[in-house]
């Protein structure tokens, strides 16, 4: 079992005894989040004690809704029966990974401790894709620059060698630096898709469970960091537009590119509390070096139960160590076998 | 009437004595008379970016300057002297623990968790040479540390018990007048208190008291208890200062990337080189 699961499990075991019945209750009330459903719900007007619209609490964006509309699907929304069917099939696929005796079973036992999305609190919506603009639900075609960068990155990865050759060749999530989906933009990460929002005068703080990444977003209109200062999760500035929190993030270091974006990518996120259980979350990606036009996705955040337990990732990263050590042992064995053969 | 006045004067004298005593009690000085601005909830407002300006992360106890650990780093790695932050000057180790501390010191270059970018634990997080930010709401007080992006979630509601051990522990907080009191348990035995090997077991229990002493200064105290390691509870105290730099913000110090070669370099495929940086 992956070390990162083990740290998560501590949280999940305590939390899900509470979450499961609650999720069921939530599901009974409002199983489908969509803009349409929210329009009929009572408008959320609660404010924090210092007068900000209140976004505080624990949230999840775990979902089966894909970023891009699947091939062959042309409509914007499924009907409810279709969504139920799709989720059922997806849950079955996740369970199938735990067939006893398989490698997948040892590495990822999704059904234990509710790590599979089907068992835990997640966002169910009728949308066929998170992307709402362009209207076809797909990421716009890449510019020639974008295509070249993609090819260059692939060539560089190939040049670096196998992922088992050195730690730098491994995905940044495996290395516990940053999870691919932790964002911004905040994308579902398969498991541990949990966030905590806390507000204080002048700031909104968003804690991501994965690798305890925190954004402390200033609301005072200060300038962005100088352009030469680049960070893994960029640098965020926020403001209120009515009851909507608008957060603009830039200054990415480009080492964890979202959908092959360049380091010039800007993410504009919008958080609007719809009701007690829902934040309407949408983000727009702007990166002229990669796409000729901006594109926008929407994925509600659904209320979940905290607290979020410490996700000490690097501290228990046996995965990197064992993978590299295993590869070196295999090479050694192969070399010994070859030299024996040579002696004969 | 006379009896009343006598009683009153005794009462006044006793109150004065009690006030004087309680004024002496906190080692760091309770900043008599300073009343912090309030949050909208009516609590002392500790929001802001803070940092200890001292050498406690090198060695909590009083110490003279000393040689560094890495010859190539010369004066940059030489240990700066420190006045000491432990009440009474000395950490009261049990005999076996004192021997362990000595061993930690000798092997500090390989054993100090800070060198591997591991989470700093408590109280070390509070006096690492990096800023941290307090984000205070009614239900939780968050502390976010620039070093390794460490986080403490301090539950301000009904106290809850640690579900399991962790690096940063499990914190319950409450207000005692001007003071934020934080009770933290549920630690693992992995973190250190400083770079010279001062350590604890998973029985560690830390009670911190944070009081604003002026608009830009907090008094910080921590009482440290661990029956496996120390013969009695002991206390540290120090000021924390507000980072008043223009547009101050926490920046990213994801040091995991910087220690990969140190931790995993010996496992890289022979003939491969770390990427240039």
Over residues A23-47, the pLDDT tens digits come to: 333 333 344 544 444 445 567 888 9
Question: Domain with B136 in it: what CATH number?
Answer: 2.40.128.20
Contacts of A48 in chain B (CB under 8 A): 40, 137
**Do B199 and B229 touch, CB atoms closer than 8 A?**
yes
Task: Tell me if B76 is assigned to some domain.
Answer: no
User: What whole-number distance in Å separates Cα of residue A291 and Cα of residue A138?
Assistant: 12
* B268: contact with A, CB 8 A cutoff: yes
pLDDT tens-place string over residues B2-14: 444 444 444 444 4
Q: Is residue B262 part of a domain?
A: no
Picking from A200, A207, A223, the nearest residue to B247 by CB comes out as A223
Average of per-residue pLDDT values in chain B: 91
Q: What's the pLDDT at A116?
A: 60
Asked if residue B72 belongs to a domain, the reply is no
Q: Do A201 and B138 touch (CB under 8 A)?
A: no
> Does B135 lie at the interface with A, CB-CB under 8 angstroms?
yes
Task: Please tell me the distance from the alpha carbon of residue B191 to that of residue B200, in angstroms, as a whole number.
Answer: 8
Residue B146 included in any domain: yes
Cβ contacts from A onto B, under 8 A:
131
Q: Is residue B58 part of a domain?
A: no
pLDDT at A281: 97
Q: Which domain holds residue B173?
A: 35-53+86-244
B263 within domain boundaries: no
Which tokens hold the place of B179?
A: 């003071």
- Quick one: pLDDT at residue B25? 43
From chain A, the residues in CB contact with B167 under 8 A are: 310, 312, 315
Percent of chain A with pLDDT over 70: 80
Residues 25-54 of B with CB under 8 A from A: 39-41, 47
Consecutive H or E run containing B133: strand B132-136
pLDDT value at B258 more than 50: yes
* Contact across the interface for B274 and A218, Cβ inside 8 Å: no
Partner residue opposite B140 with nearest CB, options A13, A198, A203 = A198
| Among candidate residues B87, B120, B85, B59, the one with its CA nearest the CA of residue B232 | B87
Establish if B232 touches chain A: CB-CB under 8 angstroms: no
Q: Which residue has the higher pLDDT, A7 or B165?
A: B165
Decide if pLDDT at B151 tops 80. yes
Query: A117-131, B54-68, B118-132: which range is least confident on average?
Result: A117-131
Q: How many CB atoms are closer than 10 A to CB B112? A: 18
A326 touches B: beta carbon within 8 Å: no
Nearest CA in chain B to A6: B164
Average pLDDT over residues A116-143: 87
**What does the pLDDT read at residue A191?**
82
pLDDT category at A120 given cuts 50, 70, 90 is low
Are the C-beta atoms of residues A179 and A193 closer than 8 Å to each other? no
Kindly tell me if the per-residue pLDDT of B22 is higher than 70: no
pLDDT for the residue A157: 93
| Pairwise CB contact (< 8 Å): A312 & B166 | yes
pTM of the model: 0.87
What is the model's pLDDT at position B216? 98
User: Mind listing the pLDDT tens digit for each residue in B101-113?
Assistant: 999 999 999 999 9
A121 touches chain B (CB under 8 A): no
Residues in chain B with CB shorter than 8 Å from the CB of A222 are 247
Contact A307 B137 (CB under 8 A): no
The tally of domains found in chain B comes to 1
- Quick check: A55 pLDDT over 50? yes
Task: List the single best residue of A212, A256, A320, A335 to mutate versus B (max B Cβ within 10 A).
Answer: A212
Residue B122 lies in a domain: yes
For residue A203, the model assigns a pLDDT of: 97
Q: What is the mean pLDDT of residues B203-218?
A: 98
Closest A-chain CA to B49: A216
Instruction: Please report the pLDDT score of residue A25 as a whole number.
Output: 32
Structure tokens at A124: 């169910």
The domain spans of chain A are: 3-326
* Residue A37 burial by Cβ neighbours in a 10 Å radius (0-12, 13-18, 19+): middle
Exposed / middle / buried, residue A250 (Cβ in 10 Å: 0-12, 13-18, 19+): buried
Of B135, B136, B155, which is closest to A216 when you measure between CB atoms? B135
The reported pLDDT for the residue numbered A16 is 31
Asked if residue A99 has pLDDT above 70, the reply is no
Cβ separation of A10 and B117 shorter than 8 Å? Answer: no
CB hemisphere CA count around B199 (13 angstroms): 26
Span B234-252, pLDDT tens digits: 999 999 999 999 999 999 9
Supply the ipTM of this predicted assembly: 0.88
Partners of B149 on chain A (C-beta within 8 Å) are: 211-214
Asked if A10 lies within 8 A of B139 by C-beta distance, the reply is no
Q: Which residues pair with B144 in a beta bridge?
A: B133, B151
Element (H, E) at A247: strand A244-250
> Mean pLDDT over all residues of chain A?
85
For A117, other C-beta atoms within 10 Å of its C-beta total 22
Distance CA A203, CA B250 (A): 12
């Amino acid at each position: 079992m992956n070390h990162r699961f083990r740290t998560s499990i501590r949280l999940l075991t305590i939390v899900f005894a509470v979450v499961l019945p609650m999720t069921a209750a939530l599901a009974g009330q409002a199983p489908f989040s969509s803009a349409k459903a929210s329009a009929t719900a009572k408008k959320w007007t609660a404010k924090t004690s210092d007068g900000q619209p209140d976004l505080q609490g624990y949230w999840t964006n775990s979902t089966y809704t894909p970023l891009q509309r699947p091939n062959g699907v042309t409509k914007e929304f499924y009907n409810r029966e279709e969504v139920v069917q799709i989720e059922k099939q997806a849950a079955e696929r996740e369970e199938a990974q735990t067939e006893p005796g398989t490698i997948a079973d040892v590495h990822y036992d999704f059904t234990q401790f509710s790590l599979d999305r089907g068992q835990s609190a997640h966002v169910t919506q009728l949308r066929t894709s998170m992307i709402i603009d362009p209207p076809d639900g797909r990421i716009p075609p890449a510019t020639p620059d974008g295509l070249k960068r993609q090819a260059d990155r692939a060539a560089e990865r190939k040049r670096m060698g196998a992922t088992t050759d050195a730690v730098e060749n491994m995905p940044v999530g495996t290395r516990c630096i940053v999870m691919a989906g932790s964002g911004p933009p905040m994308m579902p990460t398969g498991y541990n898709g949990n966030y905590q929002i806390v507000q204080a005068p002048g700031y909104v703080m968003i804690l991501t469970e994965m690798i305890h990444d925190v954004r402390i977003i200033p609301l005072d209109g200060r300038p962005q960091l100088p352009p030469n200062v680049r960070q893994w999760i960029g640098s965020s500035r926020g403001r209120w537009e009515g009851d909507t929190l608008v957060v603009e993030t830039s200054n990415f270091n480009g080492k964890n590119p979202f959908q092959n974006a360049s380091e010039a990518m800007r993410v504009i996120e919008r958080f609007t509390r719809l009701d007690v259980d829902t934040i309407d979350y949408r983000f727009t990606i702007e990166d002229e070096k990669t796409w000729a036009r901006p594109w926008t996705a929407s994925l509600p955040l659904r209320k979940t139960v905290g607290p979020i337990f410490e996700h000490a990732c690097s501290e228990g990263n046996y995965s990197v160590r064992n993978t590299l050590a295993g590869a070196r042992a295999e090479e050694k064995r192969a070399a010994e076998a070859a030299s024996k053969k040579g002696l004969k | 009437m006379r009896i009343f006045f006598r009683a009153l004067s005794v009462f006044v004298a006793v109150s004065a004595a009690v006030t004087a005593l309680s004024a002496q009690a906190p080692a760091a000085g309770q900043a008599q008379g300073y009343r912090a601005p309030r949050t909208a909830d009516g609590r002392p407002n500790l929001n802001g970016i803070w940092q200890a300006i001292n050498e406690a992360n090198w060695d909590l106890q009083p110490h003279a300057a000393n040689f560094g650990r890495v010859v190539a780093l010369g004066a940059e790695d030489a240990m700066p002297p420190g006045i000491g932050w432990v009440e009474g000057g000395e950490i009261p180790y049990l005999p076996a623990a004192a021997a362990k501390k000595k061993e930690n010191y000798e092997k500090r270059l390989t054993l100090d968790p800070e060198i591997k970018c591991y989470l700093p634990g408590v109280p070390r997080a509070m006096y690492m040479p990096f800023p941290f930010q307090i984000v205070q709401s009614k239900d939780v007080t968050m502390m976010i540390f620039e070093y390794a992006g460490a986080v403490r979630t301090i539950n301000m509601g009904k106290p809850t018990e640690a579900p399991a051990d962790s690096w940063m522990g499990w914190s319950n907080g409450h207000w005692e007048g001007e003071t934020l009191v934080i009770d933290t348990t549920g630690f693992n035995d992995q973190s250190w208190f400083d770079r010279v090997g001062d350590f604890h077991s998973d029985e560690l229990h830390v009670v911190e008291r944070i009081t604003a002493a002026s608009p830009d200064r907090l008094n910080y105290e921590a009482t440290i208890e661990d029956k496996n390691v120390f013969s009695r509870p002991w206390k540290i105290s120090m000021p924390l200062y507000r980072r008043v730099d223009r547009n101050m913000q926490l920046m990213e110090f994801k040091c995991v990337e910087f220690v990969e070669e140190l931790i995993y370099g010996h496992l890289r495929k022979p003939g491969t080189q770390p990427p240039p940086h």
